[in-house]
Structure 1
Amino acid sequence: MGSTRWNDLDPRLQRAIVFGAGLEFGLKIAALIDLASRPREEVRGEKAAWAAAITLVNAAGLVPIVYFLRGRVGRTRPS
């Protein structure tokens, strides 16, 4: 089984990979910023565990999405 080099990929596939990686990176950054600014009482579970999962688990943006949907207790609106 041979290995495929980046330059051998179809340009559309290259763009899709770059887009997906950028989307995952953006979700991780947004989740980490939200987690850092949110009080402990508004997070389900340990903030350190969420931060580790968001940072280390590479699951196509799934962990940040789970954090936004299930990891936060209350939604505070800025005054």
Structure 2
Amino acid sequence: MTGSSKKFSDLPPRSRAMIIVGAMIQFVLQGAALRDLKRRPSAQVKGPKPLWVGLSFVNYLGPIAYFAVGRKGTEK
């Protein structure tokens, strides 16, 4: 390893807090997307559900993309 790599515990408190908050946001977004995918009928999802499940694991972008473009409207 090079001398530039740091351990999490070596980071300043603000940096550690930002990493933790970012991870929490990712987990909440992904959890919400996965929950919505599980409950939403396939007819209300643009594209195959397994594809969106896989994309939900792409940090931030996957869940946001699902909510922005992956769901069909529920107009009646």
Q: After TM superposition, is the score higher than 0.5?
A: yes
Q: CA RMSD in A?
A: 1.2
After TM superposition, the structure 1 = structure 2 runs for residues 1-79 of structure 1, keeping only pairs within 5 Å, are 1-2=2-3, 3-55=5-57, 57=58, 59=59, 61-75=60-74
Q: What is the letter of the counterpart of residue 68 of structure 1?
A: F
Q: Which runs of 5+ in 2 are unaligned?
A: none
What is the TM-score with the length of structure 1 in the denominator? 0.85
Number of matched pairs:
73
Q: Which runs of 5+ in 1 are unaligned?
A: none
Q: 1:38, 1:16 → 2: CA distance?
A: 33
Which structure has more RCO (C-alpha within 8 Å, separation ≥ 6)? 1
